[in-house]
Chains A and B, each alone.
Chain A
Amino acid sequence: MASTVDRPSGRAGLNLGYLPYLLPGAIGFFVVVLIPFLMNIAVSFTRWKGIGVPKFIGLENYLKLFQDKTFWAAFEHSVACVIAMALIPTALGLFLGAVLFDYIGPRFGPRASSGLRAAFYLPQILPVAVAGVLWGWILSPIGVLNTILDGLGLHALSQNWLGDPATALLAVMFVMVWLQLGYALVVFMAGLARVDPALYEAAELDGAPWLSRFRHITIPMLKPEIFVVGLTTTIAALKVFAPVYVLTSGGPDNATTVPSYFAYYHFFTTNRVGYGAAITTVQTLITIVLGLVFLRVQRKQTEGAN
């Protein structure tokens, strides 16, 4: 009897003990995320110019949205963004992290390794707007890259990088990789520091080449980091806005439009606030679903590992 009474009161005590720590975050979440999101959902069922009285129109915005080619094209570009901001930086970050940790560090000293790590991380501390302006100068038809290529006699390689639909999305993707790589690299290098060096030594003594060690030790040991980086960068890719805004404004001819930019366009330039709200609602739902899938897979993997 005593124990049954003790246990719930103990649990309640524990919950209450956590409460003050959860409170600031919860208030922030309610005020900054949840309430505006609910309002956004409400607005998505209306026709509204941003001022005046919104007019309820039911599912009209959603029906229109599903027939809007630009909207679907924007989601196709989101897939490209996931490749550029999540897949490539994760894979490349893992590889470069291992190279810096296993090869550069021991051979050229920790300074060389951390110097390079900082260099890869640099784009992360630069404001995206500034980075975008710089890359705009580099990738302009009269910009630095083409000038260098022309100077080297490689005229055939110089391109209208951001102005040609064939290259614009690739160019924006390249800048995204450049922006995101440092983040993945730094997390993976921190993860590598946690791995027991004895594992590598044993494998090395057994004659395992570097690639085998990378495949059989580094990748499995870094699974938690890979999931965290994968999840955060995928979410960042699904809501990406700034690089597209500063580099191409979604052009040429919508070749680089992404959902966030498309929503922004309707919110602020066409004054179709209800339609913009419908876009962001769908975008948020997709992001939440993908996030949950990620977390689920991660949990399964961790459970499997245990």
Chain B
Amino acid sequence: MIAKKRLTAALALSLALAAGSHGVARADDSDKTFKIWWYETPDSAMGIAWNKAIEEFKAKHPDVTIAFEQKSWDQIEKAGSLILNSGEAPDLLEYNKGNAIAGLAASQGLLTDLTDVAAERGWDKTLTSSELLLSRYDDRGIFGTGPIWGIPDYGEFVAVYYNKNMFKDLGLEVPKTLAEFEKVMDAFVAKGITPIATAANDYPAQHLLTELALSKATPEWVQSYQGLKAPLDPAPYLYGAQTLQDWVKKGYVSKDATGLKATDMETLFETGKAPMVVSGTWFGGGFKSKIKDFEWGQFLFPGNTISSGSTGNIWVVPKSAKHKDWAYEFIDITLSKDNQALLGNSGGVPVAADPASLTDPVGLMMTENFKVLADRNGLGFYPDWPAPGFYEVMLQKTQALIGGTITPEEFVEQISGPYNEAQAEAN
């Protein structure tokens, strides 16, 4: 989901490390320095809201020096546990949710248990129990149960972005069912247009496949799949894989997707070459600022009750943090109605905003869709979460599926292997 940042992150990694040691924010560890790290870019909705939160914190504590460091997602993904395990950890940081990262850190005792603080400060009331699922990890590091180790303040999900002008030109309506969706795509294929742009040399293709798989999934299947509760029940994936290959044959998705990155997919949509993309809300802000030539919108994947989606990455307080109270206070600010409204009005998906306070059409549209999913228990999380390294497996195999080098049966067999191995290891 966030892997679109992978390449830039790899480049940024060395720069960020270098910057860290040059003292951009490397104040001393005196009692009056509050160290915060996150990796959302300054122009993202989260970046905007959290920078405002820093201002607010400073106003309340004029004597405190804030030592902020901009990190990259990849940096935390690859080296997060090493940082938490060192003496260099900050007081508060944005951390990657999921078993492989937050779960691992929690199970190794590197994070502060926030269960009591959450009750004290009312975070467990602000956030619903389903919104707190990714905050809880058990002693094996698997999410869903156990103490609260982190707090999210935004949401994200996968949906269909569409070019309203191209739909209007062909007299097409937003589809409500999978059959209607296929009819819409037929109309584009008849005009020689590939209806869905996707990228299989990157994460978007596995999200498209997962949407198809989730059309056959129940909440129980999702829980069992994400929680490594049993060996993989492959039926939904088999259906998804068959349908995806079918879609490639029908021309709904191009075989060339195997050579495309998420940014290529983004470009195809932004330049009006593709009428639809199926991807996450993290594209909303970019589309908002870059698309000027046509109107666009977003609809939930037709016919699905469940979609890939979840609360965002989480605030965690390292076990070794020096100023835990300030960290809790900062989380309070980011969960406040004002800060949440700012996040939404900057094109993000707040989890605790007052809907009436949202004026930005993009933020409002996505927040409403998020609420629809969350209210019907329709957040299906992401396909790569169950086991560390499963992202690569899903990526490689979805790519092969679209390229036609493996059959749907082989796909299911090849993803079941690593999944079942991880499942056996975890239990």
User: Does A161 lie within 8 Å of B104, measured CB to CB?
Assistant: no
Neighbour of A270 across the interface among B77, B260, B388, B399, CB < 8 A: B388
B402 CB, min distance to chain A CBs, angstroms? 9
Pick the interface stretch among A17-25, A200-208, A241-249: A241-249
B128 within 8 A of A: no
Instruction: State how many residues of chain A have any CB contact under 8 Å with chain B.
Output: 33
CA distance A245 to B7 in the complex (A): 9
Residues on A with C-beta less than 8 A from B399 are 163, 251-253
Pick the interface stretch among B78-86, B156-164, B329-337: B78-86
B409 within 8 A of A: no
Q: How large is the interface on B (under 10, 10 to 19, 20 to 34, 35 or more residues)?
A: 35 or more
User: Does B396 lie within 8 Å of A251, measured CB to CB?
Assistant: yes
User: Does A139 lie within 8 Å of B259, measured CB to CB?
Assistant: yes
The interface residues of chain A, by DSSP majority, are classed as: loop
Residues on B with C-beta less than 8 A from A268 are 77-78
CA distance A129 to B8 in the complex (A): 10
Neighbour of A164 across the interface among B254, B258, B264, CB < 8 A: B258
* B418 to chain A: closest residue by CB: A270
B326 within 8 A of A: no
Pick the interface stretch among A1-9, A46-54, A113-121, A288-296: A46-54
User: Does B82 lie within 8 Å of A50, measured CB to CB?
Assistant: yes
User: Does A162 lie within 8 Å of B400, measured CB to CB?
Assistant: no
B71 within 8 A of A: no
Chain B proximity mask over A158-196: 1 for CB below 8 Å, otherwise 0: 001111110000000000000000000000000000000
User: Does B264 lie within 8 Å of A142, measured CB to CB?
Assistant: yes
* A49 to chain B: closest residue by CB: B104
Chain A proximity mask over B377-396: 1 for CB below 8 Å, otherwise 0: 00000000001110110011
B103 CB, min distance to chain A CBs, angstroms? 10
User: Does A142 lie within 8 Å of B256, measured CB to CB?
Assistant: yes
A259 within 8 A of B: no
A230 within 8 A of B: no
Residues on B with C-beta less than 8 A from A133 are 7
User: Does A253 lie within 8 Å of B397, measured CB to CB?
Assistant: yes
B123 CB, min distance to chain A CBs, angstroms? 27
Interface on B for A, CB 8 Å cutoff? 7, 10-11, 77-78, 81-82, 85, 100, 104-105, 108, 110, 200-201, 254-261, 264, 267-268, 387-389, 391-392, 395-397, 399-400, 403, 405-406
Having A51-B104, A254-B396, one finds 9 other A-B pairs with CB under 8 Å, namely: A51-B85, A52-B108, A141-B260, A142-B264, A160-B258, A252-B201, A253-B405, A269-B388, A271-B104
Interface on A for B, CB 8 Å cutoff? 49-52, 129, 133, 136, 139-142, 160-165, 245-246, 248-254, 265-266, 268-272
